[in-house]
């Protein structure tokens, strides 16, 4: 099959590698990809992801058999609808179904209708109403912008004044902003991934991300500074409960609404004392969770994603091996704030040759034969192992072999999982 992969980050590099190793792949095209993943397929750099007409024309011209959409923005913008209407198989939900990521208020309404455990909430489109509710509820409390904000639209406020500031900032930016205010949930977080086509749900495994920029979960939120899979905290019993009470009811509710979900559904979970509760859904794989998951995926990813795209997921099972994978994000100093581009990264070949190691590129550019940084999150340095400790140690050995003074990473990726397993 001839596959077109859309996106350019570390997640897409991991998808590209798994797709390129699929026996049923004949050719992989990547739009736009980045320099560090160029060897996985052929890059297409002259079409914008927002230009649906140009993407359609390209799919026709190249007779693409399957389109795999990495990031959420094209899905929320309806790219899957446009491709499906033209007869192309596409892995990724319709615009209506992508509201599960695109609108927190929509997701809450699905949770209400299907009885899915999540934080109690209220939605507002005016500053005064939001403030009155906030003051009635008190802190701690969580304030969320309703639409896509690349992970930056959420404030978990310990004090009332912090929450008031967050609301003021949202309404200053957009006078009729849709804002969700919800109860703060307590527990450990886990990311859970399922392939879905209509009523069929096929688990794709769990992971744990590290959202804060500095060790011990300090500093501002980022897109994710590292991940490991599986998440030991997410036991088989919790997985069964999550499927029964959260994921399956969501798939059924979406079918009932005439918005059957097709693609990967990423559930951000809070494992509370009362059981797993939904924090949010994403309509794509996580980044960097995908990097760890893909290193454990065994089989023909093209076939699996095509089955989901064509409504034939019932015949598919996903096998994950080896036991553990860890991915450490190396970012440019300053990220998630301002950072410089263009510093040279050395030692990548040496690092990649270490046992169990795979390095995914998120933002690199090849300049005169040198690999240079070209983004905030630049690399995901990954390793697999038979134990979480093995995988973690191998990944940090690879980090140590990389010579990039202008970069940094967290030093405590997987520490929580290791503690839980008694391997710390």
> If binding is defined by CB under 6 A, does position 263 make contact with ligand GLY?
no
> If binding is defined by CB under 6 A, does position 182 make contact with ligand AMP?
yes
Alpha carbon 251 to its chain's center = 19
Q: Specify the residue, 10 or 64, whose C-beta has the smaller distance to ligand GLY.
A: 10
Q: Which does 40 bind (CB under 5 to 8 A by kind): ligand GLY, ligand AMP, none?
A: none
> If binding is defined by CB under 6 A, does position 380 make contact with ligand GLY?
no
H-type alpha helices, 37-152? 52-62, 73-76, 79-85, 99-102, 104-114, 127-137
- How is residue 84 written in tokens? 């499906």
239 to 268: interface string for ligand AMP, x by CB under 6 A: -----------------------------x
- How is residue 259 written in tokens? 């918005």
Cross-strand bridge partners of residue 189: 270
- How is residue 290 written in tokens? 């995908």
Q: Which of 286, 375, 376, 385 binds ligand GLY (CB under 6 A)?
A: 286
Distance CA 127, CA 129 (A): 6
- How is residue 162 written in tokens? 């912090």
- Which span sits near ligand GLY by CB under 6 A: 168-176, 247-255, 279-287, 325-333? 279-287
For residue 390, CA distances in Å to 14, 61, 122, 326 come to 21, 46, 45, 9
> If binding is defined by CB under 6 A, does position 142 make contact with ligand AMP?
yes
Which residue of this chain has its Cβ atom nearest to ligand AMP in the complex? 280
For residue 155, CA distances in Å to 139, 140, 141, 279 come to 12, 10, 8, 13
CB of 211 to ligand AMP, least distance (A): 6
Q: Which does 279 bind (CB under 5 to 8 A by kind): ligand GLY, ligand AMP, none?
A: ligand AMP
- Which span sits near ligand GLY by CB under 6 A: 155-163, 285-293, 388-396, 411-419? 285-293
Q: Specify the residue, 110 or 227, whose C-beta has the smaller distance to ligand GLY.
A: 227
> If binding is defined by CB under 6 A, does position 289 make contact with ligand GLY?
yes
Distance CA 155, CA 145 (A): 9
Distance CA 76, CA 101 (A): 8
> If binding is defined by CB under 6 A, does position 372 make contact with ligand GLY?
no
- Which span sits near ligand AMP by CB under 6 A: 29-37, 184-192, 297-305, 405-413? 184-192
Distance CA 126, CA 118 (A): 24
Binding site for ligand GLY (CB under 6 A): 209, 223-224, 282, 286-287, 289
């Amino acid at each position: 099959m001839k596959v077109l992969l859309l996106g350019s980050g570390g997640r897409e590099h991991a998808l590209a590698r798994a797709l390129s190793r699929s026996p049923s792949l004949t050719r992989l095209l990547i739009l736009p990809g980045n320099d560090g993943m160029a060897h996985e397929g052929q890059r297409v750099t002259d079409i914008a992801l927002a230009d649906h007409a140009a993407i359609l024309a390209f799919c026709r011209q190249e007779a693409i058999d399957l389109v795999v959409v990495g990031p959420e923005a094209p899905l929320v913008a309806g790219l899957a609808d446009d491709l499906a209407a033209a007869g192309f198989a596409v892995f990724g939900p319709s615009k209506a179904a992508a509201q599960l990521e695109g609108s927190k208020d929509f997701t809450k309404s699905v949770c209400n209708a299907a009885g899915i455990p999540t934080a109690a909430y209220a939605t507002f489109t005016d500053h005064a109403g939001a403030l009155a509710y906030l003051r009635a509820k008190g802190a701690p409390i969580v304030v969320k912008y309703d639409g896509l904000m690349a992970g930056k639209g959420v404030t978990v406020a310990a004090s009332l004044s912090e929450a008031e500031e967050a609301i003021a900032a949202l309404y200053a930016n957009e006078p009729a902003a849709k804002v969700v205010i919800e109860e703060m949930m307590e527990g450990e977080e886990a990311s859970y991934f399922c392939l879905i086509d209509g009523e069929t749900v096929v688990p794709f495994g769990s992971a744990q991300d590290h959202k804060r920029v500095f060790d011990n979960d300090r500093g501002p939120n980022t897109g994710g500074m590292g991940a490991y899979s599986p998440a030991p905290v997410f036991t088989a019993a919790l997985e069964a409960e999550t499927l029964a009470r959260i994921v399956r009811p969501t798939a059924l509710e979406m079918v009932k609404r005439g918005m059957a979900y097709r693609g990967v559904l990423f559930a951000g979970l809070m494992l509370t004392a009362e059981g797993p509760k939904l924090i949010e859904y994403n309509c794509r794989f996580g980044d960097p969770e995908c990097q760890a998951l893909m290193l454990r995926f065994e089989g023909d990813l093209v076939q699996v994603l095509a089955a989901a795209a064509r409504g034939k997921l019932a015949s598919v099972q996903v096998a994950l091996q080896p036991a553990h994978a860890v991915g450490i994000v190396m970012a440019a100093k300053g990220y998630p704030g301002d950072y410089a581009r263009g510093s040279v990264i050395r030692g990548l070949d040496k690092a990649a040759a270490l046992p169990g190691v795979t390095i995914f590129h998120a933002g690199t550019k090849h300049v005169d034969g040198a690999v240079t940084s070209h983004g905030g999150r630049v690399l995901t340095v990954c390793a697999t192992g038979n134990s979480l400790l093995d995988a973690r140690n191998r990944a940090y050995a690879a980090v140590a072999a990389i010579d990039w003074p202008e970069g940094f990473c967290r030093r405590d990726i997987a520490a929580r999982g290791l503690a839980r397993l008694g391997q710390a």
